[in-house]
């Protein structure tokens, strides 16, 4: 498979720039072949010393999946409910009709209220070897491959940590061993809405050259790039 591969892949670059977080899914099951191709791509990611300490558990419509999705649905609704208050979605621009914040709030409401209908939920898991964020280097590249493969096949998903509220029960239900982290919960489905260019801060806030805070001469967002609102200034 892929024995003859071109050196340049412009559509790969295009895919990286147009993979959005997708939280609203059409009510369509995902064929086995597409699930397999997404998971195959996930497992092609790098990991520390190529030890492949990552594992993926797919939740579709099996007996454990139905129970796990119900458990996660509650946790996601609780998580979003808490975030609504702490991040100010219920005041100011969050309550207006058509601001980025109010649109985001509506999408989140829909996401958590329909969580149980998500066609595919993938738990990303990694064996514990390090303290701190180190084990993340052996599982989050694979999560990104999974999301990009979904994009390539006409699906979309989002990397979430909202299993936190039910982690102990979920681990017991799914049989996740104690010496493994549950690193992410990734719902996937065919998008309502579509992928397209993502918004980020201007590159000169995110990329430095030669020393922290120093702007590179070559830094320039491509023409037409839309930005998110400025964040708190980076300390220089």
Decide if residue 229 touches a second copy (CB under 8 A): no
**Which of 14-22, 73-81, 89-97, 110-118 is the region at the interface with a second copy (rule: CB under 8 A)?**
14-22
Task: Residue 194: count other Cβ atoms within 10 Å of its Cβ.
Answer: 10
* Of 163, 183, 187, 189, the one binding a second copy by CB under 8 A: 183
Residue with smaller CB distance to a second copy, 2 or 97: 2
* Of 94, 102, 169, 174, the one binding a second copy by CB under 8 A: 174
Give the Å distances, CA to CA, from 195 to 98, 157, 183, 223: 20, 10, 25, 19
Q: Which of residues 71-90 bind a second copy (CB under 8 A)?
A: 87
* Of 70, 82, 96, 161, the one binding a second copy by CB under 8 A: 161
Q: What is the DSSP string of 96-150?
A: SSSSHHHHHHHHHHHHHHTGGG-SEEEEEEEE--SSTTGGGGGTHHHHHHHHHHH
* Site size toward a second copy, by CB under 8 A: 108
Q: Angle at Cα 69 formed by Cα 66 and Cα 71, nearest 5°?
A: 110
Rounded CA-CA distance 153/227 in Å is: 27
Q: Using CB atoms within 10 Å of the CB of residue 163, give its burial: 0 to 12 exposed, 13 to 18 middle, 19+ buried.
A: buried
Q: Which of residues 128-157 bind a second copy (CB under 8 A)?
A: 132-137, 139-141, 143-145, 147-149, 151-154
* Of 24, 55, 77, 84, the one binding a second copy by CB under 8 A: 55
The DSSP call for residue 44 is: T
Residue with smaller CB distance to a second copy, 109 or 144: 144
Decide if residue 46 touches a second copy (CB under 8 A): yes
Q: Which of residues 187-216 bind a second copy (CB under 8 A)?
A: 194-198, 200-201, 203, 206-213, 216
């Amino acid at each position: 498979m892929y024995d003859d591969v071109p050196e340049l892949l412009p559509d790969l670059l295009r895919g990286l720039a147009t993979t959005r977080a997708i939280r609203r899914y059409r009510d369509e099951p995902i064929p086995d072949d597409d699930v397999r191709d997404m998971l195959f791509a996930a497992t092609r990611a790098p990991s520390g010393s190529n030890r492949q300490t990552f594992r993926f558990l797919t939740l579709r419509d099996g007996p454990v999946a139905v129970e796990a999705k119900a458990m996660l649905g509650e946790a996601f609704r609780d998580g979003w409910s808490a975030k609504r208050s702490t991040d100010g979605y219920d005041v100011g621009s969050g309550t207006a009709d058509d601001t980025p914040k109010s649109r985001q709030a509506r999408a989140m409401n829909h996401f958590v209220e329909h969580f149980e209908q998500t066609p595919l939920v993938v738990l990303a898991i990694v064996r514990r070897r390090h303290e701190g964020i180190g084990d993340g280097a052996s599982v989050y590249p694979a999560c990104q491959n999974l999301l990009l493969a979904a994009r390539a096949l006409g699906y979309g998903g989002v990397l979430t940590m909202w299993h936190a509220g039910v982690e102990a029960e979920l681990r017991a239900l799914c049989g996740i061993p104690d010496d493994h982290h549950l690193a992410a919960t990734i719902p996937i489905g065919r998008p309502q809405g579509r992928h397209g260019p993502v918004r980020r801060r201007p590159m000169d806030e995110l990329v430095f050259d030669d020393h922290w805070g120093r702007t590179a001469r070559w830094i320039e967002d491509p023409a037409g790039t839309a930005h998110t609102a400025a964040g708190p200034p980076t300390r220089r």
